[in-house]
Amino acid sequence: MTLTDRLSIRRSLFLSTALLVSGAQCVFAQEKNPAELSEYYSPVPEIVTPGKTSSDAPSDAIVLFNGKDASSWAAQDGGPVKWQVGDNAITVVGGTGTIHTKQGFGDCQLHIEFREPSEVKGEGQGRGNSGIFLMGRYELQVLDCYNNKTYVNGQTGSIYKQLVPLANACRPPGEWQTYDIIFTAPLFNEDGTVKAQARITVIHNGVLIQNNASIWGSTEYIGTPKYEKHGPKEALVLQDHGDRVSYRNIWIRPL
């Protein structure tokens, strides 16, 4: 339907209604139950079969790691991942570098489970450190903050050095933990300036810890965050920070 058509129709509707108003008192009733004026039938949302539990992937999710198969991932050098796959998990092997998905993602719902080493070693940022980099740039911190003090903008569930989590919902080391993430990618202007900041919602072990918060830019260890223009889809990256953090049940729904 062209713009002209649509506008004509709208106008006709308006005129016919006007006529109706000046007509007999029953004209409206012949047309519609008033409740029906606020009901419509399309487009029909997609049917998605949920997983058996909230850890299981819904039918439309891309399963990035099912406990056995790491083939959706590549090592930092582009080759096969060098992390350890076993016991239904994939575990960081310190010094082998980050791993990243072969596929890129933008706006998404991401479910990911992680487990801190049951043998507690180190303290602060030195205890069970890893990280989930949305679009390879925006780090949701993974750390063992169960009875472990560090800077609050770097604790578990922080957007590293940017957004302090609303709560510390860590489980003890050795137990599996969940992140349920809703991520909205940043938008850029043609000249590279930022049109809309990235936003993130995170539920950690069932507890809301980030509530549609705006991300400042790529997360940095030193210096200020900064947005650098990138594509609408970028790889998801898991960090090797030297500690034996494990991951499992990783699935993602592009939004």
Q: What CA–CA distance (Å, rounded) separates 149 from 137?
A: 25
Which of 12, 86, 88, 167 binds a copy of itself (CB under 8 A)? It is 167
Nearer to a copy of itself, 31 or 86 (CB): 31
Nearer to a copy of itself, 68 or 167 (CB): 167
**Least spacing, CB of residue 84 vs a copy of itself, in Å:** 19
Q: What CA–CA distance (Å, rounded) separates 16 from 22?
A: 10
User: In 3D, which of 199, 142, 160 has the Cα closest to residue 151?
Assistant: 160
Cis peptide upstream of residue 43 (ω within 30 degrees of 0): yes
Q: What CA–CA distance (Å, rounded) separates 139 from 161?
A: 9
Does the protein bind a copy of itself through residue 63 (CB under 8 A)? no
For the window 71-100, what string marks contact with a copy of itself as x by the rule CB under 8 A? -----xxx------------------xx-x
How many other CB atoms are found less than 10 A from the CB of residue 116? 29
Q: What CA–CA distance (Å, rounded) separates 112 from 65?
A: 9
Nearer to a copy of itself, 50 or 86 (CB): 50
Site for a copy of itself in 190-249 (CB under 8 A): 191-195, 197, 199, 201, 203-209, 211-214, 216, 220-224, 226, 229, 234-235, 237
Does the protein bind a copy of itself through residue 148 (CB under 8 A)? no
